[in-house]
Amino acid sequence: MAKPVLLVTRRLPPAVEARAAAEFDARLALSDQPMADVQAQAQGADAILTCPGDNFDAALIASLPASVKVIATFSVGFDHIDIAAATKRGIAVCNTPDVLSVATAETALLLILAAARRAGEGERLIRAGRWRGWAPTQLLGVGAIGRQLGIFGMGRIGRELARLARGIGMIIHYRDVARLPPALEGDATFHDSDASFLGACDILSLNAPGGEGTYHWLNAKRIALLPRGAVVVNAARGTLVDDEALIAALRSGQVGFAGLDVFEGEPRLNPGYLTLENVVLLPHLGSATVAARDAMGFLALDGIAAVLAGRRPENLVG
């Protein structure tokens, strides 16, 4: 019996590609960059494994061959896939929840500490050969221990960040569409308004999903509600932030420091960030551990196999 045909749009970790080749007639990508001719490459394919940054809009989905039954994304977020268009075509969509939560929460905590303690500035100082030795007033930042951390989006990753942050004595506040059950909330304080939530944030971490409902959620109006000098980090989606508003706030001191792992329109980013010393910039490293990326690929393949076998996978999103 012939194996199902699987189109993979990007290079994936070796263990994931090996499993894909063993279980499917896999058309593996040769590049880390987005595939330019998905429609042509998908001819005869039963499934597609894609990645964030690969835009599966309504037009592309409408152009896919009738053979395609499922699209899996190598990510938790699926705002780069038009779910309604896929549903209309009868194409299932799967993602990779849970398995990257710890790794991404680690990145958020890394951004908090690096931004608050001005680690990026210090590293650049040394690399530029401009460090002249220890000085009492050099690169004074703010501590994280005992500070109030506000988490916007208390899903799996937000809750993992809260767990890690409690370990260094941070006080947790959160904002979400609904209050968590007591077992998940723990000692965190729920806020049902932006004003009370943002006013409590010494440090704000954005951990909500992308999409229309959260587009440019952190705008000038909300930034003004933060305590002056607050720290802002984003390891979720670049679209959560109005870049011009955040850049203005970093220049004025309304936001003291920022740490960003994601950007609207990435890999392009607003050039204003490159002129600022008080922002740490990472190239979308959130889930970048070997264990997390392997687990993501395996879960995506599990979802594809389940759909093609006529079963409903646990990671089905549309």
* Beta-carbon contacts of residue 55 (< 8 Å; ≥ 6 apart): 34, 80
**In a 3-state reduction of DSSP, which class is residue 6?**
strand
d(CA 181, CA 227): 28
Structure tokens at 130: 């401009």
Structure tokens at 152: 């916007």
C-alpha dist (Å) from residue 273 to 29, 117, 260, 265, 270? 32, 18, 10, 14, 6
Burial of 162 (0-12, 13-18, 19+ CB in 10 A): buried
d(CA 316, CA 88): 16
CA 235, 239, 243, 245 torsion-angle sign = negative
* Beta-carbon contacts of residue 219 (< 8 Å; ≥ 6 apart): 242, 245
Q: Which of 284, 293, 312, 314 is catalytic?
A: 284
**In a 3-state reduction of DSSP, which class is residue 137?**
coil
CA proximity to 273, closest of 289, 300, 249, 295: 249
Q: Which of 127, 266, 268, 277 is catalytic?
A: 266
Structure tokens at 180: 């968590």
Does the active-site annotation cover 106?
no
Structure tokens at 129: 């050969």
Does the active-site annotation cover 237?
yes
d(CA 230, CA 103): 24
Q: Which of 19, 27, 117, 237 is catalytic?
A: 237
Task: Tokens 């955040």: give the residue.
Answer: 246
Start-to-end C-alpha separation, the chain: 29
CA proximity to 73, closest of 89, 86, 62: 86
Does the active-site annotation cover 284?
yes
Catalytic residues: 237, 266, 284
